[in-house]
Amino acid sequence: MRHIVLGSSSPFRRALLEKLAFPFDTCSPDVDESPIANETPQELVQRLALKKAEAVALQHPSSLIITSDQVSVLNGKINGKPHTPENAIKQLTESSGNTVSFYTSLCLYDAQEKNYQLIVEPFFVHFRKLSTQAIERYIEIESPLKCAGSFKSEGLGIALFNRLEGDDPNTLIGLPLIRLINMLNKQGIHIP
């Protein structure tokens, strides 16, 4: 099997990829993630996944490289990672009773052939009405300060939602595994 590298420092993406039960290494790409003027959320995550793959390819020139990027969008505005409890409270308060769109890009980059497969997978989170007390308690328990949208759906964050809408629940955590398996199959890597 080809050497596979996950181009991410995310422990969540690493844990997701481990589900597929094949060996891989990780490499943290160092890229500027700033949006470009007039770039849509979908264009942003697509561009960043490809940039990350190209950066990792410089260190792993004969590998298959998996990269991803994700944004949370509410009312047309991108929500980044909150980094502080105050920002997390603000994000979850704005999300309360609303639908938040997540766009997760996925790139499988063949560094040897210099070609790639690149998609953006949408996922929609329908939040229930949340009290200030519930939001503060959730943030205190789970501390989702490095998570787009200020929650961890794989943990207690599931209690914040009325429903989830999308093809693959792994997408919301940060790596669309169903699409990745299809991409790997096209590269001759069959799971299981």
HSE (CB half, 13 Å, CA atoms) of 126? 5
Q: What is the pLDDT along the chain (192 residues), one digit of tens a residue?
A: 899 999 999 999 999 999 999 999 999 999 999 999 999 999 999 999 999 999 999 999 999 999 999 999 999 999 888 999 999 999 999 999 999 999 999 999 999 999 999 999 999 999 999 999 999 999 999 999 989 899 999 899 999 999 999 999 999 999 999 999 999 999 999 998
The CA distance from 70 to 35, in Å, is 12
Question: What domains does the chain contain, in order, with CATH numbers?
Answer: 4-186 (3.90.950.10)
Residue 70 tokens read as: 């994700």
Q: Three-class SS of residue 120?
A: strand
The CA distance from 16 to 22, in Å, is 12
Residue that has been written with the tokens 């940060």 in this structure: 174
List, in order, residues 6 or more apart from 187 with CB less than 8 Å away: 2, 64, 108, 110
Q: Are 20 and 181 in contact (CB under 8 A)?
A: yes
99-139 confidence digits (pLDDT tens): 999 999 999 999 999 999 999 999 999 999 999 999 999 99
Which pLDDT value is given to residue 112? 96
69 catalytically annotated: yes
Q: Which amino acid is at 111?
A: A
Q: Which of 25, 69, 110, 168 is catalytic?
A: 69
The CA distance from 41 to 103, in Å, is 7
pTM, rounded to two decimals: 0.93
Which pLDDT value is given to residue 154? 87
Which pLDDT value is given to residue 148? 87
Which pLDDT value is given to residue 80? 83
Q: Are 93 and 112 in contact (CB under 8 A)?
A: no
List, in order, residues 6 or more apart from 20 with CB less than 8 Å away: 177, 180, 181, 191
**Bridge partners, 107 (sequence order):** 67, 118
